[in-house]
Structure 1
Amino acid sequence: MIRFNLRCELAHEFEAWFRSGEDFENQRGKGLVTCPQCNSHAVEKALMAPSVSTGRKRETVAFANEEKQKQLVKEMQELARKMRENSDYVGTRFAEEARKMHFGEIENRSIYGETSFEEAKNLIDDGIGIVPLPPLPEEQN
């Protein structure tokens, strides 16, 4: 078994064990590797240092902000739920609908949906305000 230090697109770092590097890549490719804090599937290996046995007893290191991170994720998820409840789901037509509203072709309303990273960047570059919503755990199952 190999322990990998992993990092998601939101810079959350965590550890996971795999039989091999190939096993990690296979599972990641199938969408089975997710960030435990935000459920993002955009996960990559982080820099790692090999574990060297020195014979000394290891000190236990506590993560001082672990509870704060959990609370922040919970608040982000609640905000995303509220935004979804008060918006229209447009699916993969998100970028198209956002552009139509921006240029006055259709009435403005709150919408949410999916778009590629590149298309989201293009919307922002065109001056169209968008906010990415974190994935909810129930959407990942």
Structure 2
Amino acid sequence: MSRRARRPQPPRPAPCPCGLPAAYDDCCGRLHRGQVRAATPEQLMRSRYSAFVRQDEAYLLRSWHPDTRPPRVDFDPGLRWRGLDVLATTEGSAFHTTGTVEFRAHYTERGRAGELHETSRFVRHDGDWVYLDGVIDS
């Protein structure tokens, strides 16, 4: 009886943290690398969530409106983002200059589960969608 040697499987691409069924490199990675621009506030919000997961400060600052952008982003070393649920969107089409995205971002902080529920506002600035601000819901 002969045994066939198993061929090693190529590694699976890392899934995108934003929750869409695509690999990171083909999804939010393209925005992070500057290959494409966000077409909608939802796409920008998802890419910003992924940037928080990956601690990509440069992208977060680039995608933040200059009037509300902080000088830097502080990442809590004890916090791990675990998932994203987009709950609602308003406006944000090619014909709009503003839009909102309501979402829940799940995390663990020092072993305890939590969630951030926010409605974020986005505006067009120099032709690109950028994050303006958000209201955290209790």
Higher strand share: 2
TM-score, length-normalised on structure 2?
0.22
- Scaled by the length of structure 1, what TM-score is found? 0.22
Higher helix share: 1
Larger Rg: 1
